[in-house]
Chains A and B, each alone.
Chain A
Amino acid sequence: MRNEYDVVVIGAGSIGVPLSYFLGKKGFKSLVIDSKASPGQGSNKAAIGGIRATHSSPAKIIIGLKSLDIFRNWEQETGDDIEYYQGGYAFITYQEEDRKSLKELIKFQQQFGLKIDFYEKDEILKIIPALNSEGLLGGTYSPEDGSASPLLSIESFYKNARKYGVEFRFNEKVESFNTKDGKIESVKTDRGTYYGKIFVNAAGGDAARVADLAGVKIPVMPDSHEGGVTEPVSRFVEPMIVDIKPEKGSKNFYFYQHKTGQIIFCLTPDPPIWGDDTRETSSFLPLVARRMVKVMPKLHYIRVRRTWRGLYPMTPDGNPIVGYKGYSNFFQLVGMCGQGFMLGPGLGYYISEYLEGKKYEEIETILKEFDPDRKFEAEELLK
């Protein structure tokens, strides 16, 4: 008997697992395939856990709002604690030009009804008293954004997807696709062949290779960022702090205090480190530690416990690629540019609706903005 599915998802990560959950909930017979041993073992577990709707493009805002909605209500819905914490986001600034661009951006964000404001120095210090006040020029604060544990979240999506009958195959590497009449008929792994009506590429950092197996070219190329976590301490900071000022060796960096007390942090290296190397480097810790302690001096007391390096599957314009490409049943859900964890649930929800045949404004906005065949020109203002 052939292994027949409505949807075959390649990649059990930040995107594939939530998508499969919503597909399962709608009654699709779905299969998720991953080369790793369990869900989220690619870039998901490297995510630091921030979730926001305060993006700078309509589609991302739509998805972000939906994601927040899902995370916020998750425990009530499923009974699973995913350590969601609504601490907000704060983009802080110590440079006049950033202050200007942040103020510009919030006007745009406010149009979408997002709760975000710019706070001058003294006001932002009331929200984040531990900030270094010297040279501080204020910052934005969006109290409805938050964070959750990527590890617990994906486990819960995975567990609940299986409840709805979604099948998962781990330790299986996709080797080839069989195509017929402009459609993908089946996918072959090192362990089996699976037939489906729709194939979704949700392979994260490996997405370009997977698409290429079907002869489809998508402009996704990973670069790598390192992150880390400290010992847990009593709560003293609410929002995710993002400092967009570039310094030698890095662009922006960000950190927050997780629900369980740890400080989790990440830094964007400059120049970017292209490729899928996730081995630890010696340059990360001194660089990020100095930036963090400068922005928040009392962090100097806290011990770093663990670091890791994950992939940002980048596209030329910094926006995801969402839509059919190459074959009429080969759906790309790739190029999340480091935001897979926060976009995954919202995107999974809307795309499951779309695959069910629904079409409404939000879906159209997403498909238009993230069209695989768009010209990759615009660069997102603030990532």
Chain B
Amino acid sequence: MSDFRIRTHPIIKVTPAVKIKFKFKGKELEAREGETIASALYANGIRIFGRHQKDNAPLGIFCANGQCDQCKVIANGITVKACMTKVSEGMEVYPLEGLPEVPESNGNFEFQDIKELQYQVLIIGGGPAGLRAATVIGEKGVKTLLVDDKNHLGGKLVLQTHKFFGSVEACYAGMRGIDIARKLEEEVNACPSVDIWLNSVVIWVFSDGKVGILRDQKEYILVKPEIILVSAGAREKSILFQGNTLPGVYGAGAFQTLVNRDLVRAAEKLFVIGGGNVGLIAAYHALQAGIEVVGLCEIMPEVGGYSVHKEKLLKLGVPVFTSHTVLKVEGSEKVESITIAEVDKNFIVKEGTEKTFQCDTVLVAVGLDPVNEFYEKAKQFGIKVFSAGDSEEIAEASSAIFSGKIRGLEILKELGLYEGQIPSELYETQKVLKSKPGKIFEMSYPNIKQGVYPVLNCVQEIPCNPCTTICPRDSIKIDGSIMNPPVYTGGCIGCEMCVAICPGLAITLVDFRKGEPIVTIPFEFNDGILETGQEVEVTDRLGRVLGNGTVIGFRYAEKVKTIPVKTKMVKLKVPREIAEQVSGIKITTVKEPISKNANVIPDDAIVCRCERVTAGEIRKLIRQGVRDMNEIKAITRAGMGACQGKTCTNLIKRLFKEEGVKEGEFTEWDKRPLFMEVTLGTLAGIKEKKNEK
């Protein structure tokens, strides 16, 4: 039987779960108690969950977040979203092929009135920004409701197994995302005036100032807040290419949910589109989960994410194709291959540069958009509203934490609970934390060849300072802003704390004290991949093979000072002349492309995946002179599906742009309720009496 579970993970503790049985298409399968149907199916190697009513296209996981309905299945006779519904003992699951039959009902209900509750502050989203804001507000005893659609607090932090950047003082830099989430959660739990609703989705902000919330997936409640803080995070952008809706093509967020939350090995061979931090990190997480990463492509000449994140991949031997775009993804029912090609400076594909790779999963990580509809609606309706974190502006989680703090103070001020001015330094710090990565300087290696000293493979302007904070000898310094790369100033005692804390895994320690050099590098992979005495290929920071080294030992740092870094390090004996350059161990072998001729048919690409509307259909309307997105919607149904235009809105705007129609020359469509589908029964407030499944 195919097993797609992650049994061991270098960072996440795999706890044993109760095993239960369920059936898919009558076949008995095993699931872990508490997991969703979607994860259970994936863990059993099932990728196709149903077929679309329009063209019978195979459907599977897309958002893994209840926002679309691509993963709908029939569970015990009722149509459910597989990503939102827990699997249960004996559950009979069938694929949803075409339109669902509505089960009969005996109508034996009681109705309860829809509750209406008052709060001073409603915080939408319990990620880094929302949690920090909730604590700031909660510490003053403000009656606050924090709502999150997940079953845990922390937002995407809980999927982030890597160490975070930023400043140690402002936002827990050096700690792993999962640990930061726990810390933020503990802080908010200490505030008794903050109520927390998990598994609860804000359905809409209405013009009468009330906010509809689906609590715990079953009860509809209206909340009337004085002030709303939108900290709902971001959603992933999408791009168009042939085969973009094949099962196996999805967003990095959904992938991280499957892999890092549900410990499902969601892919065997992965290709990543997009070299922002999200794509780079997702690829790294995949490697940690034992998934082969075939490659990553980025259309720009340099990745948009931190260079150190890219280098983490290069050092392990994963190819990063810059100035490359995706042409198509192919497969008969699910992803089997991807074809990419090089582009020129105008982003035009260079003929003859096509490369096709075998893979079973393609992650689309081409950037994020703020989830800002609640903010916009509240503004439009004259409700007092703030936004923080990615909902306000896309940046790192470290910046989100800090913006949550500032918004919290601003809300206190609005409520008359903060006197004086909010210090301008806070805004200054926030500005630094949200900085995009900047200039890359030339790397120069020290050539001391005696004693012990760190090599800082850190040459890009990014907001980060843990190494300078942690060094007990104060030997690593940053001149001025934390954006500047750090400099080693001498006096190293070889404590390895900088190696252990560096979020970029960019610091190595070179030790000549015993003659032959020993290099310590961080290595965040499962035990067993490397053994003492093993000969390995070592690379420099850009993945260039320098030669061979020998593993002579390991060290695990649970904490450095008080910061939980949980970092494994490996010690290597390496040739003297390359010691300073050694930065990584190559663990993957580069896959050669299987060559094929690429034949692009972008008109085939599906723009609206809910209603299966192609780029060609929309392009034709734009060419006929349609300049109102509402009209495109009326004619094609694009944007009318379950996700309510969350994916296709930007794609259609891009098609306008491609056709030479600028923003402002066409009318955008209106955003309408609901944010997520809710059953009529829940909205009606029914309580089932008896005898109904």
Contact = CB atoms under 8 A, between A and B. Distances in A.
Interface of A: 36-41, 45, 132, 134, 151-152, 154-155, 170-171, 230-234, 236, 261, 277, 279-283, 285-286, 289-290, 292-294, 297-308
Contacts, number: 155
Given A45-B630, A292-B684, 16 more contacts: A151-B633, A155-B631, A232-B53, A233-B99, A279-B207, A281-B206, A282-B210, A286-B683, A293-B681, A298-B103, A299-B681, A300-B109, A301-B79, A302-B679, A305-B644, A305-B674
B222 interface: yes
Contacts of B222: 282, 286
Given A37-B627, A38-B630, A307-B672, A302 B206 contact: no
Size bin of chain B's contact surface: 35 or more
A85 B541 CA distance: 66
Contacts of B220: 285-286
A236 B103 CA distance: 10
Given A134-B107, A280-B206, A298-B102, A306 B678 contact: no
Interface string B481-502: 0000000000000000000000
A300 B677 CA distance: 13
A303 B67 CA distance: 13
B674 A306 contact: yes
B125 to A, nearest CB: 20
- State the main secondary structure of chain B at its contact with A: loop
29 contacts: A36-B628, A37-B627, A37-B667, A38-B667, A41-B628, A45-B630, A230-B680, A231-B642, A232-B99, A233-B79, A233-B100, A233-B102, A234-B100, A261-B53, A279-B380, A282-B210, A285-B212, A285-B220, A285-B678, A286-B684, A297-B105, A297-B107, A299-B681, A300-B105, A300-B109, A301-B102, A301-B103, A306-B644, A306-B673
A37 B99 contact: no
A347 to B, nearest CB: 22
B427 interface: no
B381 interface: yes
Nearest to B634: A151
B626 interface: yes
B684 A277 contact: no
Pick from A36, A37, A281 the residue with the most CB of B within 10 Å. A37
A226 B177 CA distance: 44
Say what secondary structure dominates the interface of chain A: mixed
B425 interface: no
B228 to A, nearest CB: 14
Nearest to B78: A301
B642 A305 contact: yes
A300 B686 contact: yes
Contact of B212 (A38, A132, A282): A282
A282 B684 contact: no
B428 interface: no
B524 interface: no
B672 A306 contact: yes
A45 B630 CA distance: 10
B658 interface: no
Contacts of B99: 232-234, 261
B284 interface: no
Contacts of B103: 298, 301
Contacts of A297: 105-107, 109
B378 to A, nearest CB: 12
A351 B633 CA distance: 30
A293 B104 contact: no
Given A280-B206, A298-B105, A304 B678 contact: yes
Interface in B199-225: 204, 206-208, 210-212, 220, 222
Contacts of B105: 297-298, 300-301
A115 B69 CA distance: 41
B479 interface: no
Contacts of A282: 204, 206, 208, 210-212, 222
Most A-side CB within 10 Å, residue of B79, B211, B684: B684
A45 B680 contact: no
A306 B634 contact: no
Contacts of B686: 293, 300
B681 A304 contact: no
Nearest to B53: A232
A231 B681 contact: no
Contacts of B642: 231, 305
B445 interface: no
A236 B207 contact: no
A301 B107 CA distance: 11
A38 B621 CA distance: 13
Nearest to B210: A282
B101 interface: yes
Given A39-B631, A40-B634, A233-B99, A300 B684 contact: yes
